[in-house]
Amino acid sequence: MVGTASRPAARTAVRATGRAEVRPAARAGRPGHRPGARGLRAVAALAGAAMMFVPAACGSSGSDGNGGTGGAVDGNPVASQSTSTGGERSTPAWGFARFTDATAKTGAAMVVPAAASAGSWRSATSAQRDEQVRVVHQTTGSYRVTFPGLAVPDGRGIALVTALDPAGAAVAGTGVTAPVVSCHVVRWGAAGRAEQVDLTCRDAAGAAADSAFTALFTHVPQEPAGAGTPSPSAGSATASTAASTGSAPSSPAASGTALPVTGAGSYAYLRLDDASAPTARPADAYSVSGPGTIEVRRVGAGHYTIDLIGPAFAKNGNNLQVNAIGDGPVGCNALGRVVGTDRQSVFVGCARGSTQVDSPFVLLYTSGHALIPLAQDAASFGHAFTGVTRQGGPTQQAPIGPPVNAWGWYSANSTGATNQVRRLAVGRYEVSFPGIARTPDLVAVTPYGEPTARCSASDFAGGDGSTPSAPAGTATGTPAGTATVTVRCVDAAGHPADSFASVAYTTAAGPTG
């Protein structure tokens, strides 16, 4: 398992009441429960002029309901062995890639074109700035992604992947019957100076299946103890003071504080390893302290509540991306969300086929923020929820037909434009983000509402499966054009089925020089 360092003793979580429910009317699970677990790695950022992050605890809990998270993949050394040759990072590390050669020769290292990947290793000061992402097709449905220069000690950070449809598979009215394949992470960890992410892709029946995909790795470090408080003139505040109103920043605690990162919106992530533990919260050094914290409770088999505590989370709006962890056929989805006076509670459900089962998982929470941690690194971004509501009524599927405006609470666009949602047919959707299409880009999709749905995605400028998402000439220029993400969803039997979905789109600067 990634991160074999010892895990601080878990503490009993304390929850608050008085939440206002924000979830689909009939498919959000059981809103009155608050699950939790040990072995949690968490990091969170708060809204405002500054965002604060604290990395999560590292731990390993052994076997799980998704085929385990340790061991080797087809005899190869696993990514989770975390053989980093560098020290602790002082700045965020992130990278994403789009891999489309799903049936590449097994065992061969395929180079991802620079226009289909981006990451912090390409900064002007990085010695690895000219290195490229590589993908190895290990066996049917199994891939390893290597991000250069992103090694993080102890397996910290999180990884997320999304299956991409083959060209034309999502086009309504064409008679295409390509099965929906979904992907999730197996493990990740350092390998020398690189960060490796292993993933598995499977069809609705749980059989391994080759698929194109996008992959994201993101890590926000903890500021070393005694490093001092950043100057308020830099537009940031320390994690210990961001939640207070008008108070001056104080010195970091002995265990270290969150590393301030400027930008708007909220950004949080967590990793849950011990999926069967009833309730816990990580030690302060590995959780959100001061402006917020993260608590997790297990409600029942495969059903969890994550409390994101702090004023930045106690408001309507977010985008949720979830992956199961492990090499088995279990998938994990977002189930719902509830907003209270001091927190937002997010529900996650995991299932193998139609049966809910416990599973480790990762969750990335954003609200008005890109999928990558540093706002200044994102050239453009958007996120949306496919459900709609009218006059405060229950969440509904958009009607089949013309596009409608995306639900404002859960929609963001870096240009200020209004995103739109179009339901093409049962289980088929288009989400349009005006003005932000360009390359390199990242699309992420998570089913929402119940744990058994599986969804795949494609993103094209015209939504017809033929035009790349970025118009010509925008790879190194100002974002322009509409990015349209097409989503297909199926039930546990593999039949097209309506499912709400959280959809996110992020672009970054392309290679230079």
- pLDDT for 256-280, tens place per residue? 333 333 346 788 888 888 899 998 6
Residue of 130 and 236 predicted with greater confidence:
130
Mean pLDDT of the chain: 74
For residue 87, the model assigns a pLDDT of 65
| 403 in the same domain as 367 | no
Do 74 and 213 belong to one domain? yes
| Domain end marker among 376, 392, 427 | 376
Within this chain, do residues 361 and 499 fall inside the same structural domain, yes or no? no
Structure confidence at residue 376 (pLDDT): 87
pLDDT of residue 361: 94
For residue 332, the one-letter residue type is C
Q: Give buried/exposed letters for 346-359 (b at 16+ CB in 10 A, else e).
A: bbbbbbbbeebbbb
Domain boundary among 327, 345, 376: 376
Query: How large a percentage of the chain has pLDDT more than 90?
Result: 52
Least confident of 69-78, 306-315, 322-331, 349-358: 69-78
Is residue 126 included in any domain, yes or no? yes
424-441, pLDDT tens digit by residue? 999 999 999 999 999 999
Residue identified by tokens 């961001």 is 242
173 and 273 together in one domain: yes
Other beta carbons less than 10 A from residue 480's beta carbon: 16
246 inside domain? no
275 and 401 housed in the same domain: no
**Which has more confidence, 122 or 31?**
122
Whether 103 is in a domain gets the answer yes
- Predicted local confidence at residue 238, as pLDDT: 23
Is pLDDT at 378 greater than 90 in this prediction? yes
Same domain, 437 and 321: no
Among 322, 356, 376, which residue terminates a domain? 376
Each residue's pLDDT tens digit, 300-314: 999 999 999 888 888
pLDDT number for residue 14:
28
Q: Is residue 188 a part of any domain in this protein?
A: yes
pLDDT at position 485: 95
Question: Is 351 in the same domain as 401?
Answer: no
Q: Quick one: average pLDDT of 361-389? A: 92
Contact at 8 Å (CB) between 208 and 181?
no
Is the pLDDT reported for residue 488 higher than 60? yes
Any domain includes 513? no
Contact yes or no for 479/436 (Cβ under 8 A): yes
Domain membership of residue 399 as a residue range: 377-508
In the structure, what pLDDT confidence band is assigned to residue 326 with cuts at 50, 70 and 90? very high
Confidence band of 174 (pLDDT split at 50, 70, 90):
low
% of the chain exceeding 70 in pLDDT: 65
Considering the domain architecture, whether residues 315 and 183 belong to the same structural domain is answered as yes
Average pLDDT over residues 379-389: 94
Per-residue confidence band for 222, with pLDDT thresholds at 50, 70 and 90: low
Same domain, 337 and 408: no
Same domain, 213 and 305: yes
CA dihedral 297, 300, 302, 304 (to 10 degrees): -20
- Is residue 480 over pLDDT 90? no
pLDDT computed for residue 72 by the predictor? 34
Based on the domain organization, do 354 and 389 belong to the same domain?
Answer: no
**Whole-number pLDDT of residue 73:** 33
Residue 215 lies in a domain: yes
Q: Are 474 and 437 in contact (CB under 8 A)?
A: yes
In a domain, 252, yes or no: no
> What confidence score (pLDDT) does residue 311 get?
86
Task: Give the confidence band of 253 by pLDDT, cuts at 50, 70, 90.
Answer: very low
Contact 272, 322 (CB under 8 A): no
Q: Is residue 29 part of a domain?
A: yes
Q: Global pTM?
A: 0.79
The pairing of beta strand 319-324 with beta strand 279-280: unpaired
Q: How confident is the model at residue 294 (pLDDT cuts 50, 70, 90)?
A: confident
Report the range of poorest mean pLDDT among 86-100, 208-222, 340-354: 86-100
Considering the domain architecture, whether residues 31 and 119 belong to the same structural domain is answered as yes
* Residue 413 structure tokens: 């666009």
Number of domains in the chain: 2
